[in-house]
Chains A and B, each alone.
Chain A
């Protein structure tokens, strides 16, 4: 046996002009989550419990795009989704279209452990979360000033784009909306801006 190991991520596709203090903030959050997971592993928590514990921490911090601080829909609302999978027995649970569940990953875990299904979405998922006694909050809890600003810019640029940065137009990175002839599923590739 090779011992325990853990990895966390907060999203791919980072604006190269991200201010230094934001970079430090992100590193501190990632370090805090790693340490949370490491002490859980040292206390012999199982892998499935540790991934849920760490993702809950990431959902509760507004820095990354999940839970509080989620990207906004074109209507200015939040619709969250999550999934979890246990390699032992390949059990899994997933949820989509959540608007009030404080920690979506915990609802995905309940779908895996307490429901006969592997994926619940929208009102059915929220109803199940309520039945299971999960903490529910108003949709406004998930909306941050930064993201309201971001949505405004996305609308002005008439595009779908990064969840946590305002690409400097013309910057040749995958954060900017680079007009590319490339198509995917019949749409310009720039529509599929990285999350």
Chain B
């Protein structure tokens, strides 16, 4: 699975996710990536893209929950990401990346590693795999 989240200079957020799914999956199987609110979500507050155990991401409506806890609990972006990764996955393993309309970027994962890269207008840039 691959994904990208962006907030542009006008504060507009967007998210996109694309995948081949699981190796040896049944034909006809649909995972989290195409499901809006599960693998992909964007609103005026943030943009989110998820990857990992599709069934766990779907059951946890993971990407929408990041936006929801920002909206209803007033959490900041990284707090919202940490909360959702810790509280919404049950025993599932997943990771996600997110941006906020304020130009912040965040990510979180509860399994061994996630291929990710992030950058902001003020010059921050990071590419990583492990914790």
Contacts and interface: CB of A to CB of B under 8 A. Distances in A.
B129 A2 contact: no
Interface in B25-77: 25-31, 33-36, 39-47, 49, 51-56
Given A37-B6, A151-B23, A81 B34 contact: yes
B52 A73 contact: no
A97 B101 CA distance: 32
Interface in A11-55: 11-16, 18, 23, 26-27, 30-31, 33-34, 37-38, 41, 44-48, 50-52, 54-55
Nearest to B33: A81
Contacts, number: 375
A107 B109 CA distance: 28
A51 B16 contact: yes
B91 A3 contact: no
A7 B36 CA distance: 18
Contacts of A193: 22-23, 53
Q: Looking at chain A's contact residues, is the secondary structure mostly helix, strand, loop, or mixed?
A: mixed
B19 to A, nearest CB: 5
Contacts of B121: 2-5, 41
A161 B11 contact: no
B104 to A, nearest CB: 6
Interface residues of B, number: 87
A194 B94 contact: yes
A77 B91 CA distance: 30
B116 interface: yes
A54 B127 CA distance: 15
B80 interface: no
A110 to B, nearest CB: 13
Interface string A134-173: 0000000010000100110011000111110000000001
Contact of B43 (A50, A90, A96, A173): A90
A178 to B, nearest CB: 11
11 contacts: A4-B103, A7-B106, A27-B128, A50-B14, A52-B16, A71-B20, A73-B21, A84-B17, A85-B41, A85-B42, A163-B20
Given A1-B102, A7-B5, A9-B1, 17 more contacts: A1-B11, A2-B121, A9-B95, A9-B114, A12-B52, A26-B129, A33-B4, A50-B8, A54-B4, A58-B18, A64-B2, A87-B15, A87-B47, A88-B44, A92-B42, A193-B53, A195-B54
